[in-house]
Amino acid sequence: MALKTEHLKEAKAALKSMSARREKKLTKADFVAGLIQDIHAKMTAGFSLEEICAELNKTLPDGEQLNMNTFKTYVRRARTQAGIAPTRAWTRRTGPTEPKIQTTPDKGRTKVQKEDPASDFRDQGGDL
């Protein structure tokens, strides 16, 4: 059965009568992402993530509070998406680390480069 042009007109009228946009439910990750510029500003001002999270939890209804570990994850993800660098480095290293592999007197090879034992029994080029 083919559709008639009046069906097309009714469908267009139905689409026009729909509201512009249904209100989208905001997730906690979206909530943090929307505030990431302000959160970053507070962090550069010297506030810790724990203090910021506690302050944000005061504004949220019961049952919708942010867990601290989850909040840190959301902040890290929102920072990455917004292209904001962390306020401090997460590592305590001050310089490059020393390599832990040391050379051995064995043919000048390191422990990692040492050949497997099967290669020690190769033909030495002499008669047996």
pLDDT in tens, 13-28: 888 877 666 677 888 9
Q: Helix 68-82 vs helix 36-44: angle between axes, to the nearest 10 degrees?
A: 100
User: And the tokens for 53?
Assistant: 């999270």
pLDDT value, residue 85 = 82
What is the number of residues in the chain?
A: 128
Decide: pTM greater than 0.85: no
Where in the chain are the domains?
25-82
- Sorted by sequence, the CB contacts under 8 Å of residue 68 that are 6+ apart come out as 49, 50, 53
Distance of CA 121 to the CA centre of its chain: 50
The answer to whether the beta carbons of residues 71 and 78 sit under 8 Å apart is no
pLDDT value, residue 86 = 78
Task: Show the low-confidence residues of the chain (pLDDT under 70).
Answer: 1, 19-22, 89-128
d(CA 93, CA 20): 54
pLDDT value, residue 95 = 62
pLDDT in tens, 89-100: 665 556 666 666
DSSP bridge partners of 110:
103
For the chain, the first-to-last Cα distance in angstroms comes to 92
